[in-house]
Amino acid sequence: MPQTSRWPDVSLEHVDVLIVGAGLSGIGAGHHLQANCPEKTYAILEARDCIGGTWDLFRYPGIRSDSDMFTLGYAFRPWKEAKAIADGPSILSYVRQTASESGIDEKVRFQHRVVRAEWSSSDARWTIEARRTDTEETVQLSCSFLLMCTGYYRYDEGYTPDFQGTERFAGEIVHPQQWTEDTDYAGKRVVVIGSGATAVTLIPSLAKSAAHVTMLQRSPSYMVSLPAEDPIANTLRRLLPARLAYQLVRWKNVLLTMVSFQLSRRRPSWVRALMRKGVERQLPPDYDIDTHFKPRYNPWDQRVCLVPDGDLFEAISAGRASVVTDRIDTFTERGLRLESGAELEADLIVTATGLNLLTLGGMELAVDGRDIELAETMSYKGMMLGGVPNLAMAFGYTNASWTLKCDLTCEYVCRLLNHMQEHGYATCTPHNRDPSVTEEPFIDFSSSYVLRSIDQFPRQGSKAPWRLYQNYALDILSLRYGALEDGAMQFSRLASPVEAVEQLLA
Ligand SMILES: Cc1cc2nc3c(=O)[nH]c(=O)nc-3n(C[C@H](O)[C@H](O)[C@H](O)COP(=O)(O)OP(=O)(O)OC[C@H]3O[C@@H](n4cnc5c(N)ncnc54)[C@H](O)[C@@H]3O)c2cc1C
């Protein structure tokens, strides 16, 4: 692959914008481009053979959203299903319908895994190298702007800690990311290791036909029970036009989430007590909440788990599921031995132990021949990278629905592209020249999956526009209405042919 050329390689196919990834974010990005920058050419490169990303990959029983679809859905396309906490297949068909209704699906090139992107300042373009996952062939193309919608975790394998003795276990061990229809749990004794959103989703579903399900957790998580159907949303949708009702419900949910997050950070003891009361109400009076449902951290220091219609608590109360809070000493022939000495017998062990985080879909980046170490960059508004031109990434909120931020990111990118077109700019690069901006981690969460990988992420800065606020209202001000020419974003024009020849001869 050429490092930096004087002249663009005209033999390569060129698009104005290249989107990487055809999940929820990539399809949303396609919509924003078509609606706001209709003259721009674009393509979507997708490593897999279908649209949907997360919502196609995960096939475990009960797979569902853990935030409401009025905010996980796109701003531009009302969620019309009855359930606000929706099942995976409904979310997948929502994404696919969005793609097919406006021809976004025709822009997707499947089985193209992007492995490297090299920026050339003299050409003001990226050269992209993609590997065909079906033929192993290498494909190159170029683009003026790169929009990364690659999600945030590895698709090939989930995270499994190094457990002792797994080879001795006579039953089956499965990670939820590798769940297939052949994974049989009916009538079986199942142990689910983990206490995050996946475990909380899986357990009530498995408990419907398993002999018994045990949730084995190292430590408890915060859980909040909410109705799967939102009665206010359903009433508003009966009374008002779909789009208006959708906007009102979105804002209601955005505000509720923001208030709950801010209150958790400012008055953690209140929120702790409130959440505890919610759990107490749903479990039998003598239940040992202190051991199994009293987290050691403050609410929203890690993502709070949603329990739709109290399904997990119902399964526990009915005796179909139970919780054990302990640590694994070793797997045995018949199940697990715990550090307390207790034994858990199992036919199937589900390792709901999390994801392996991955930045930019594992792609390498280089700017003018210099490889970019992501961890050495500072993120600009949580969606571009200092010193990296013409590149944005759709990275959603950790304390609210992912799509809220991705929609705003795409709106901002469209504003940026239109501004550049209007002024004849070829490049836009965030540059931090303010020495008082100090570095902070990109994600302010104490979850182990974040702590394991945070050193691979860019940093954020201590103040705007380098700060990642995790706050939808502030991001609306910054991304929808904020000045594009803010001093940190540097724009430049491509040298004219005469200037280019002069530079070449100099
Ligand atoms: C089980 C589960 C439930 C979740 N529930 C919620 C929820 O309720 N609310 C919420 O806000 N968030 C939730 N999330 C987070 C969730 O991933 C996002 O909400 C959303 O689906 C992310 O969409 P995305 O398109 O950004 O990423 P993904 O869905 O991960 O899609 C990324 C796409 O990019 C492709 N890709 C990656 N790298 C490359 C590459 N190098 N070249 C080409 N293509 C590439 C992938 O194949 C994939 O198709 C959940 C996550 C999981 C795992």
List the structure tokens of 281. Answer: 């109400």
Distance 59 CA to ligand 1 centre (A): 14
Residue 198 alpha carbon, nearest atom of ligand 1: 1
For residue 95, the model assigns a pLDDT of 98
Q: For a substitution probing ligand 1, which of 31, 50, 54 has the most ligand atoms within 8 Å of its CB?
A: 54
Determine if ligand 1 sits within 6 Å of the CB of residue 372: no
> pLDDT class for 506, splitting at 50, 70, 90?
low
Helix (H, G, I), strand (E, B), or coil: what is residue 248? helix
For residue 446, the model assigns a pLDDT of 72
Determine the Cα–Cα distance for residues 348 and 461; give it in Å rounded to an integer.
Answer: 45
**Look-up of token digits 């045990």:** 214
Listed in sequence order, the DSSP H helices in 320-383 are none
Give the burial class of 331: count Cβ atoms within 10 A of its Cβ; 0-12 exposed, 13-18 middle, 19 or more buried.
buried
Checking if the pLDDT of 475 tops 70, the result is yes
Determine if ligand 1 sits within 6 Å of the CB of residue 62: no
Amino acid at 313: F
* Cβ neighbours, 10 Å, residue 167: 7
Do residues 198 and 391 make contact, with C-beta atoms less than 8 angstroms apart?
Answer: no
Q: For a substitution probing ligand 1, which of 402, 410, 443, 472 has the most ligand atoms within 8 Å of its CB?
A: 402
CA 130 to chain centre: 22
Lowest mean pLDDT among 7-16, 102-111, 133-142: 7-16
Q: Which residues contact 121 (CB under 8 A, 6 or more apart)?
A: 4, 367, 368, 389, 427
Amino acid at 40: K
Please report, for residues 33, 62, 283, 320, 398, the alpha-carbon distance to residue 176 in angstroms, rounded to integers and kept in the order given: 34, 11, 27, 20, 21
pLDDT in tens, 145-186: 999 999 999 999 999 999 999 999 999 999 999 999 999 999
Mean pLDDT over 338-366 rounds to: 97
Determine if ligand 1 sits within 6 Å of the CB of residue 58: yes
Checking if the pLDDT of 504 tops 70, the result is no
- Average pLDDT, whole number, for the chain? 94
Q: Which residues contact 426 (CB under 8 A, 6 or more apart)?
A: 124, 144, 420, 492, 493, 494
% of the chain with per-residue pLDDT over 70 = 96
Do residues 298 and 222 make contact, with C-beta atoms less than 8 angstroms apart?
Answer: no
> pLDDT class for 471, splitting at 50, 70, 90?
very high
pTM attached to this predicted model: 0.94
List the structure tokens of 314. Answer: 């119902």
Distance 23 CA to ligand 1 centre (A): 6
Determine the Cα–Cα distance for residues 196 and 221; give it in Å rounded to an integer.
Answer: 7
pLDDT in tens, 264-274: 999 999 999 99
Q: For a substitution probing ligand 1, which of 150, 152, 224, 350 has the most ligand atoms within 8 Å of its CB?
A: 150
Q: Which residues contact 226 (CB under 8 A, 6 or more apart)?
A: 85, 306, 307, 308
Mean pLDDT over 350-375 rounds to: 96
